[in-house]
Chains A and B, each alone.
Chain A
Amino acid sequence: MIYLDYSATTPVSYDVLDTITKVTKEYIGNANSIHSLGVKSKNLLDSATEQIAHIFNVSPGELIYTSGATESNNMALIGAALANRKKGNHIIVSKLEHPSIYHICDYLQSLGFEISYVKNDREGLIDFDDLKRLVKENTILVSICAVNSEVGVRQPLKMIRQIIKKENFGTIFHSDMTQAIGKIPVNLHDVDLASMSGHKIYGPKGIGLLYKNSNVNLVPIIHGSTKENNLRPGTPPLPLIASFSKAIRLANNDLEKREHFINLLNEKIVKHMQKYPHILINKTKYSIPHILNISLMDVMSETFIHAMEKKEVYLSTNTACASGELSTSVMAIYNDLARAKHTIRISLSHLSTTDEINKFLTYFDEEYAKLANLK
Chain B
Amino acid sequence: MQKLIIIKYGELTTKKDNIGFFLQTLKQNIAAILSNLPVEIKQDAGRMFIYTDEGYLELVKEKLAKVFGIHEIIEGYVDNDFTIEQIKANALALMQARSFQTFKIETKRSNKNYPLESMAINRAVGSFILKNIPNLKVDVHHPDLLFNIEIRHHEVLYYGEKIAGLGGYPVGTLGKGLLMLSGGIDSPVAGFMAIKRGIKLEAIYFESSPHTSEQAKNKVKSLARILALYNATVKLHVINFTTIQETILKNIPHEYLITIMRRMMYRISEAIAQKNKCQIIVNGESIGQVASQTLTSMSCINEVVKIPVIRPLACFDKLEIITLAKKIGSYETSILPFEDCCTIFVPTHPVINPQSKKCIEYEKLIPYADLINEAITTEEVIYLDSEKDNLEYRDIL
Residues of A in contact with B (beta carbons under 8 Å apart): 18-19, 22-23, 34, 36, 39, 42-44, 46-48, 50-51, 54, 57, 158, 187, 189-190, 242, 245-246, 249
Interface residues of B in 360-397 (CB under 8 A from A): 387-388, 390, 392-393, 395-397
Known pairs A23-B396, A190-B55 / 13 extra A-B pairs, C-beta < 8 Å: A18-B395, A19-B396, A22-B396, A43-B218, A44-B393, A47-B390, A48-B397, A50-B388, A51-B397, A54-B387, A57-B56, A57-B59, A249-B397
Q: Please name all residues of chain A whose beta carbon is closer than 8 Å to the beta carbon of B320 when the two chains form the complex.
A: none
Please name the residue on chain B nearest to A23 by beta carbon: B396
Q: Can you identify 22 A-B contacts, CB atoms within 8 angstroms?
A: A18-B395, A19-B396, A19-B397, A22-B395, A23-B396, A43-B218, A44-B397, A47-B388, A47-B390, A47-B393, A47-B397, A48-B397, A54-B388, A57-B36, A57-B56, A57-B59, A189-B59, A242-B393, A242-B396, A245-B397, A246-B397, A249-B397
Tell me which of A50, A189, A242 contacts B387 (CB under 8 A). Answer: A50
Size of the chain B interface, CB-CB below 8 angstroms: 18
Chain B 180-218 residues near chain A, CB threshold 8 A: 213-215, 218
Using CB atoms, name the residue of chain A closest to B221.
A43
Per the bound structure, the CA–CA distance linking A158 and B396 in Å amounts to: 34
Contact A246 B396 (CB under 8 A): yes
For A158, the closest partner residue in chain B by CB is B55
Report whether A54 and B36 are in contact in the complex, using a CB–CB cutoff of 8 Å: yes
CB proximity of A157 to chain B, nearest CB, Å:
10
Which of B36, B37, B56, B390 is the one whose CB lies under 8 Å from A51?
B390
Does any Cβ of A come within 8 Å of B17's Cβ? no
Assembled-state Cα–Cα distance A46/B389 (Å) = 11
Given that A39-B215, A47-B397 are contacting pairs, would A189 and B388 also be in contact in the complex, using a CB cutoff of 8 Å?
no
Q: Which residues of B contact A47 (CB under 8 A)?
A: 388, 390, 392-393, 397
A34 with B215: in contact, given A54-B36, A57-B59, A187-B55 (CB under 8 Å)?
yes
B10-58 CB contacts (< 8 Å) to partner A:
36-37, 55-56, 58
Q: Which residues of the partner chain A approach B397 to less than 8 Å between Cβ atoms?
A: 19, 44, 47-48, 51, 242, 245-246, 249
A47 to B221, CA, bound (A): 13
Question: Whole-angstrom distance from the CB of A160 to the nearest CB of chain B?
Answer: 13
Residues of chain A within 8 A (CB-CB) of B213 are 34, 39
Which residues of A have CB within 8 Å of B58?
Answer: 189
Question: Which secondary structure dominates where chain A touches chain B?
Answer: helix
Q: Which chain A residue has the least Cβ–Cβ distance from B55?
A: A187
By Cβ-Cβ distance, the 5 closest A-B pairs, closest first, are A50-B388, A39-B214, A187-B55, A54-B387, A47-B390
Q: Chain A nearest CB: distance from B387 CB in Å?
A: 5
- Chain A residues lying within 8 Å of B36, measured Cβ to Cβ, are 54, 57
* Closest partner residue, chain A, to B213 (CB atom): A34
Q: What B residues does A190 contact at CB under 8 A?
A: 55
Give bound CA distance, A47 to B55, whole Å. Answer: 26
- A129, B37: Cα distance in complex, Å: 33
Residue on A nearest B57 in the bound complex, by CB:
A189
Nearest A residue to B53 via CB reads A187
Q: Which residue of B lies closest to A39 (CB)?
A: B214
Q: Contacts A39-B218, A57-B59, A189-B58 known; A46 to B396 CB distance under 8 Å?
A: no
Decide: B55 and A36 in contact? CB cutoff 8 A. Answer: no
Chain B residue with the shortest CB-CB distance to A187: B55
Residues of B within 8 A of A34 (CB): 213, 215
Complex interface: chain B residues within 8 A of A57 (CB)? 36-37, 56, 59
Chain B residues with CB under 8 Å of A39's CB are: 213-215, 218
| Complex-state Cα separation, A187 to B299, whole angstroms | 54
Nearest CB of chain B from residue A177's CB, rounded to whole Å: 15
Closest residue on chain A to residue B209 by CB atoms: A36
Q: Give the residues in chain A near B388, CB-CB below 8 Å.
A: 46-47, 50-51, 54
- What residues on A are CB-neighbors of B214 within 8 Å? 36, 39
Once the chains are docked, how many angstroms separate the CA of A187 from the CA of B390?
23
- Give Cα A269–Cα B165 distance, bound, in whole angstroms: 54
List residues of chain B with CB within 8 A of the CB of A246.
Answer: 396-397
A7 to B188, CA, bound (A): 48
Distance (Å) between the CB of A174 and the closest chain B CB?
A: 18
Q: How far is the CA of A62 from the CA of B19 in the complex (A)?
A: 41
Set of chain B residues within 8 Å of A48, measured between Cβ atoms: 393, 397
Closest to A60 in B: B388
> With A and B bound together, what is the CA distance between A216 and B388 in angstroms?
25
Provide the residues of chain A in CB contact with B393, threshold 8 Å.
44, 47-48, 242
Q: CB-CB < 8 A to A23: which residues of B?
A: 396
Residue of B nearest to A26 (CB): B396
Residues of A within 8 A of B395 (CB): 18, 22
